[in-house]
Structure 1
Amino acid sequence: MLNRRRGPTPRRHRVVASPIRLPVAALVFSLAYGTVGFMVIEGFGLLNAVYMTVTTLTTVGFGEIEPLNPDGRLFTLSLIAIGFTAVFTLLAVLTSLVASGQFGRSLTRRSMRQRIEALRDHYVVCAFGRVGRSAVEELAAQGADVVVVEVDPSLEPDMIEAGVLYVLDDPMREDVLERAGIARARGLLCAVDSDASNVYITLLARARNPDLFIIGRASSPESVEALERAGSNRVVSPYRLSGTRMAALAFQPAMLEFVDMVSVAPDLRIEELVLGERSALAGATVRDAASPYEGVMIMAVRSADGSLLVPPRADTELNVGDLLIIVGPMDALSDLAKRAR
């Protein structure tokens, strides 16, 4: 069983709470100090003592409830010194936070946490480097909800500019993955530039969500097997993928251009659909499933037993659990996706 790495919230998530904690505590102490002092030295009741303390600290100047004796006046001077120090320190800290933008960022993160908590079936992307950023852009283009987990605070402006939800913390902490909604997520993309980190994140995520679809990044061939054993459903090696694509472009440029065109065309997509137990397409043929839609083609069918038909015959019967690879307009594919559930 994995050890749950839980600990105190990192310091950067208390950028507002930590600086103002001391002046707020001093202000509370001033209120208590003044109230108790007026009750003990002047014999005031609780209400009168609180009233005198507040009017003294706020400099309202309503005057004394009762004449103060010399001890009371000395005590009032000490209360003014302590209270004014606390108030002006608090104002200085708040002004500094607002001017530096930390206060606004803290409010943004709080709002972001609430939005993340409301997500379901979203994708979690670990790291916002070159690979992670490209993955986020593609997922967003497909209309998917995305949460980025990034440990480097210098990338926060880039994530804000991209308009993506994010958690600014270490993705190798289980509590951080939970804040990203890993238990409710549909998929996880481990795009950290360390294979060891990706393996560990995969182990944490798989333990937290057994149904999660995990894609791991492997920089070295030796890490592919480790990621698969850790629980990755798919493993991608950016360097190997780049080399394979370059070779394919050398021999089959037209084919890759077609695939790229389908990927970036505004109203054309390649999608995969799995027929659910109540799917309206179960029992239909490939011809019956595609014919109601203009421009839709079922390119491949993989049955539940793993057999693959590329391309399938028009009279091929579709069954529950079949995976379909379909190309066509987005509206048509959206309707097909509803019928496939």
Structure 2
Amino acid sequence: MKPLEKFKKFLGWRNAPKPHITLNDEFYGHLAPFRLPFILTVFVMLIGTIGYMTIDGFSLMDAIFQTGITFTTVGFGEIAPISNMGRIFTISLIIFGFVLFSISIGIIAEVVKRGEFQKTVKERKMLYEIARLKHHFVVCYHNDFTIQVTRQLRENHIPFVVVDPREDMEEVAKKHHYPYFVSAEPHTEAGILKSHLSSAKGMITLADNVADNIATIASARLYETEIGRVRKFLIIANAKNNEDEQKLVKLGANKVVTATKLMAQRINAMAARPDMENLLQEFLYKKDTPLDMEEAKVSKTSWLALQKIKSARLRDIANVTIIGIRQKDKQFIPMPKGDTIIMPQSKLLLIGTSEGITKAKKVIRKKQKPEELKYV
């Protein structure tokens, strides 16, 4: 390890993550018009320095200083007596300086007028901010579904990036409070890299037509294979009918939501159990509530594998209750008893506070029996 890296590690410094696409080429491309004024400035300074040293015998530093104050027309005057030939040379420098200044102002005005430079600077800043995100969701395509979904994500404090090819994404993002956005096709390489999908938890694609959803899901799965990601992306999509739903599932979507089916299920739930539906809406569908419900997977190496439920003591150490077990073969055991054996690779359905569930998951992931169980 290099000494500088050791020093950074000692101080706890970390290198800021960089986006996959930095737009450096575009950024420096916008600066290309300034090359000519810069080269001419250096050339005039060189000619002026040589001229004062040759004509009036100035020292190197005096010649550079005299050239600088003359070329920029600051009006300091002569730092040493100058001959008539030197004064003619000085007038020439002043004229060249004025012409060069006028050209530079014209170039700056043209660059600012086009607005491409400012646009690139803003996009570059946005890409660096997106690169700092971890376990975020990439939400594809802006529409009415996206507005509602992102509203819930904000309320649950889940980071997200909205990706849409429309050119007015900046105005759309301001209107609908998208903190991070990318103007690109979600299924393209640019869309995937700019949204920093590699560090995302998953993708939510909400296109108005199934073809765009198909292209986005296929691209995400191919990118997943390309980067060798161990944990697969969680991909959620919308569909208009059951046929489209089946297609998206076969292509790799983990969850597909059909608006008509979802609406029918919610209406039936409200009609059959209105009080229970209100309870779920109030406590389980929101993040910052006293009650939460999640699944926790029991790995093969977990200390809890092949143990009885009562051995976990999750209620004592985390105030969490196991209300169901989903076995590896998809069989679901509701309200299991304390003597029920927890099989490897099964999933425990936990209910409790968000903090308690987080603590319970840490306990379940441990390979050895936790120390705190000795005191409960």
TM-score by length of 1: 0.77
Unaligned runs of 5+ in 1: 1-5
Alignment of 1:255 onto 2:276: yes
Q: Which residue of structure 2 aligns with residue 334 of structure 1?
A: 358
Q: Which residue of structure 2 aligns with residue 206 of structure 1?
A: 221
Matches within 5 A, 1:1-341: 21-22=32-33, 24-35=34-45, 37-38=47-48, 51=65, 54-63=68-77, 67=83, 68=85, 72=89, 75-89=92-106, 92=109, 103=118, 109-157=123-171, 159=173, 162=177, 164-210=179-225, 211-262=232-283, 263-264=285-286, 266-289=289-312, 290-292=314-316, 296-341=320-365
Partner Cα separation in structure 1 for residue 275 and residue 141 of structure 2: 33
- Letter of the structure 1 residue corresponding to residue 135 of structure 2: D
Partner Cα separation in structure 1 for residue 107 and residue 300 of structure 2: 61
Pairwise CA distance, 1:86:
3.6
Partner Cα separation in structure 1 for residue 122 and residue 21 of structure 2: 23
Pairwise CA distance, 1:126:
1.6
User: Does the C-alpha gap of structure 1 residues 159 and 276 become closer, same or farther in structure 2, counting only changes over 3 Å?
Assistant: farther
- Letter of the structure 1 residue corresponding to residue 358 of structure 2: S
CA offsets 1:265-322 (integer angstroms, 9 cap, x no match): 7221121221234434333433444432686332321122322223333322223321
Q: Is the 8 A contact 2:162 2:182 kept in 1?
A: yes
Q: Is the 8 A contact 1:147 1:180 kept in 2?
A: yes
- Letter of the structure 2 residue corresponding to residue 337 of structure 1: K
- Letter of the structure 2 residue corresponding to residue 285 of structure 1: K
Q: Is the 8 A contact 1:57 1:84 kept in 2?
A: no
Aligned residues: 329
Percent identity between the two aligned chains: 21
- Most deviating of 194-203 and 122-131: 122-131
Q: Is the 8 A contact 2:293 2:351 kept in 1?
A: yes
Partner Cα separation in structure 1 for residue 274 and residue 108 of structure 2: 64
CA offsets 1:113-164 (integer angstroms, 9 cap, x no match): 3333233333222234332233333334444332332333544356457363
Pairwise CA distance, 1:213:
1.5
Pair member with larger Rg: 2
- Letter of the structure 2 residue corresponding to residue 149 of structure 1: V
Q: Is the 8 A contact 2:187 2:215 kept in 1?
A: yes
Q: Which residue of structure 2 aligns with residue 3 of structure 1?
A: none
Pairwise CA distance, 1:212:
1.2
TM-score by length of 2: 0.71
User: Does the C-alpha gap of structure 1 residues 191 and 274 become closer, same or farther in structure 2, counting only changes over 3 Å?
Assistant: same
